[in-house]
């Protein structure tokens, strides 16, 4: 009994150190790596975690060591997939071979067996992270202890009699504890991304809101490093009258449709922002001024041809501006495009006007 408690205490201490794994896992999630790289990154993390547990293990007899390496490999399979588990298991095998000792063969077989068991479990059970599933995974991964049959008979008997219950409990508790902490981090990251998207998106149109411009401004400190860009400012003409005459529900339909028209006309690398109530801002990256003018005119014409319910038509005015040596800030170019938009409205609306310095506003 004392031996079992000693083993269990030592294993729980190693699981406590695995809190570092949770913190590193959070960093990997925040990096938002492509799927092709995320699995290998998680595999390296859990492989190194398995190595850390192997550096200072509990020694059953000279050269025969036990640790929570297979717990880490099992969690690699659940949280990172096939490649993650294979990479974690491979790292653990290489290090176990380098360590050597009397338990080299059973230790290596245990890692390989643990990797296969973990992948098989995930294949049939999926990558569920609830506590019952994690507990079952910890229990199943304990079958990797069958590699102990490769140990000398006296060591095998000693391990089976004195250590086996604590080793199984270690796997179950370790998998549940570390796995639940990792799952908690995943839930927090998903909640964070959901709230972030809600904060940066307009609920009606699904477009970015003005907060997105702050990110653009940070990425474009000057046109020398980021390339020229153009801004188009759109404003729906007499939109207050549309709302007053046909109701705000109808106005929402118009806004949503106009957002679709703009989004379909621009590239994926460009940005559309609902700048105000009926005002929209388009950032065209690496765009020439003549291209921006043509895009603005196409969007204006398409909206003018749109026939809403009750045979209602709506038009829009637009102002276009381009970045330059003197105007490299996004907000400066937006201000210039807004001045051109003012001119378009002054000329009678349903117009596209390009900013040119100086712009003389009517007094």
Q: Which domains does the chain have, with CATH numbers?
A: 2-198 (1.10.1760), 211-354 (3.30.70.270)
Q: List, edge to edge, every strand of the sheet that includes 271-274.
A: 271-274, 279-285, 229-236, 316-322, 352-354
- Rounded to two decimals, the pTM is 0.58
Q: Which of 278, 279, 293, 351 is catalytic?
A: 278
Question: pLDDT, tens digit, for every residue of 109-147?
Answer: 999 999 999 999 999 988 889 999 999 999 999 998 888
Distance (Å, rounded) from C-alpha 242 to C-alpha 135? 61
Helix (H, G, I), strand (E, B) or coil at 235: strand
DSSP 163: I
So what's the pLDDT on residue 102? 74
What φ, ψ does residue 319 adopt, rounded to 5°?
-120, 135
So what's the pLDDT on residue 345? 94
326 catalytic per annotation: no
So what's the pLDDT on residue 192? 76
DSSP 96: H
So what's the pLDDT on residue 158? 67
So what's the pLDDT on residue 89? 95
In which residue are the tokens 């998207």 written? Answer: 197
Residues in the chain with pLDDT values less than 70: 1-18, 56-67, 151, 154-156, 158-163, 194-199, 218-227, 357-363
Distance (Å, rounded) from C-alpha 73 to C-alpha 89? 6
Distance (Å, rounded) from C-alpha 7 to C-alpha 115? 23
């Amino acid at each position: 009994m004392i031996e079992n408690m000693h083993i269990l205490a030592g294993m729980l201490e190693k699981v406590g150190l695995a809190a570092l794994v949770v913190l590193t896992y959070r960093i990997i999630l925040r990096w938002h790596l492509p799927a092709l790289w995320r699995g290998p990154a998680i595999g390296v993390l859990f492989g190194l975690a398995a190595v850390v547990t192997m550096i200072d293990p509990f020694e059953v007899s000279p050269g025969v060591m036990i640790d929570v390496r297979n717990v880490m490999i099992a969690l690699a399979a659940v949280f990172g997939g096939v490649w993650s588990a294979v990479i974690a298991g491979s790292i653990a095998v290489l290090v176990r071979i380098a360590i050597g000792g009397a338990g080299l063969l059973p230790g290596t077989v245990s890692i390989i067996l643990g990797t296969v068991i973990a992948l098989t479990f995930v294949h049939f059970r999926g990558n569920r992270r609830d506590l019952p599933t994690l507990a079952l995974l910890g229990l199943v991964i304990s079958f990797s202890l069958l590699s102990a049959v490769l140990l000398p008979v006296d060591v095998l008997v000693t391990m089976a009699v004195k250590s086996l219950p604590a080793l199984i409990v270690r796997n179950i508790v370790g998998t549940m504890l570390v796995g639940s902490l990792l799952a908690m981090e995943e839930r927090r990251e998903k909640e964070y991304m959901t709230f972030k998207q809600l904060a940066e998106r307009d609920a009606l149109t699904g477009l970015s809101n003005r907060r997105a411009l702050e990110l653009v401004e940070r990425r474009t400190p000057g046109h020398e490093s980021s390339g020229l860009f153009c801004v188009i400012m759109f404003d729906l003409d007499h939109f207050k009258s549309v709302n007053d005459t046909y109701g705000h529900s109808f106005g929402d339909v118009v806004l949503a449709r106009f957002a679709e028209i703009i989004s379909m006309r621009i590239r994926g690398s460009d940005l559309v922002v609902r700048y105000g109530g009926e005002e929209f801002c388009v950032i065209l990256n690496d765009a020439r001024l003549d291209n921006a003018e043509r895009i603005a005119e196409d969007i204006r014409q398409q909206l003018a041809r749109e026939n809403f319910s009750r045979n209602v038509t709506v038009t829009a005015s637009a102002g276009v501006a381009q970045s330059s040596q003197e105007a490299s800030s996004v907000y400066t170019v937006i201000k210039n495009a807004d001045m051109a938009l003012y001119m378009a409205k002054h000329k009678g609306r349903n117009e596209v006007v390009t900013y040119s310095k100086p712009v003389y506003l009517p007094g």
